[in-house]
Amino acid sequence: MRVTKLPAFKVFVVLAIAVSMSACSMFGHKKDTNDTLPVDKLYAKAHDSMENADYAAAAKAYQRLIARFPSGNFNEQAQLDLAYSQYKDNQPDDAYSTINRFIKTYPTHPHVDYAYYLRGLINFDRTGGAMERLLQRNEAQTRRDQGFNLKAFDDFSELSRRFPDSAYTADARQRMIYLRNVLAQFEINVAEFYLRNKVYVGAANRAQYVIEHYQQAPQTGDALAILTRSYLSMDQKGLADQTRQVLALNYPDHPYLKDPNWPHSPSLIRKMIPFSGHH
């Protein structure tokens, strides 16, 4: 019997195919169980991953559930849990997009109060959450952070306004106080910068903004002091006198009042004007 010799190239191709088929039979391609599980089992799997702090795996499973089952209670809850998993997995842009879409799609959902709270948390944590870091960041980053702080404040404010009895409202209000103080401090930092560089109108405007918008913040006394100094530097002695009276009445121990570099006005012996700004 005659044996035909295969060319070397053909032998190589045949061997490659044989090896490939053998590998497939040995190891196979494992199917992703997210593509085969029923909705309740898939949700349970995603939820277990989230509970075990495997947020990347949880997000993947929730996304698959949402894609495979585009409606129903499991889908809606999966969207909320997906946003939380993305938030905890340090994916704030994805988390914000997910929760924002949920709020727009389900404005009357029983858990929409949580959605507003989570949206506030996502923005709140984008800046690192530490007030002292405000002074360590460059100007561009600081301004960007303030934008997120303002968004977080608005989110928490909307939650408080729409759902005053929500389980999340008390914490949201505490965070609003913190954010108010951070935002006020930012304005004070800018006002002091202007004052040092003799941009007195800019300093006065920033200080006035704090007085008008953040009256309950502890920085209000500093704002009144900066406003007084700005008026004195602009030779607006009447306005400076009036502002200093308000400072002395509301913050009698403020360091500015004892600063020898800034003269005391003799008109302070007149009746002092109470501070009546708004919240």
What secondary structure letter does DSSP report for 157? H
| pLDDT by residue, tens only, the chain of 279 residues | 444 454 554 544 444 444 454 444 444 445 667 888 999 999 999 999 999 999 999 999 999 999 999 999 999 999 999 999 999 999 999 999 999 999 999 999 999 999 999 999 999 998 754 444 444 544 555 566 788 999 999 999 999 999 999 999 999 999 999 999 999 999 999 999 999 999 999 999 999 999 999 989 999 999 999 999 999 999 999 999 999 999 999 999 999 998 877 655 433 323 333 334 433
Contact 114, 102 (CB under 8 A): no
pLDDT at 249: 94
**Amino acid in position 108:** T
**Which residues, 6+ apart, have CB-to-CB distance to 110 below 8 Å?**
none
Which residue carries 């997210």 as its tokens? 34
**CA dihedral of 213, 137, 91, 120, whole degrees rounded to 10:** -10
Which of 163, 156, 67, 70 is closest to 110 using CA atoms? 163
pLDDT at 275: 39
pLDDT at 204: 97
pLDDT at 144: 64
d(CA 115, CA 99): 6
Whether this prediction's pTM lies above 0.85 is answered by no
pLDDT at 240: 94
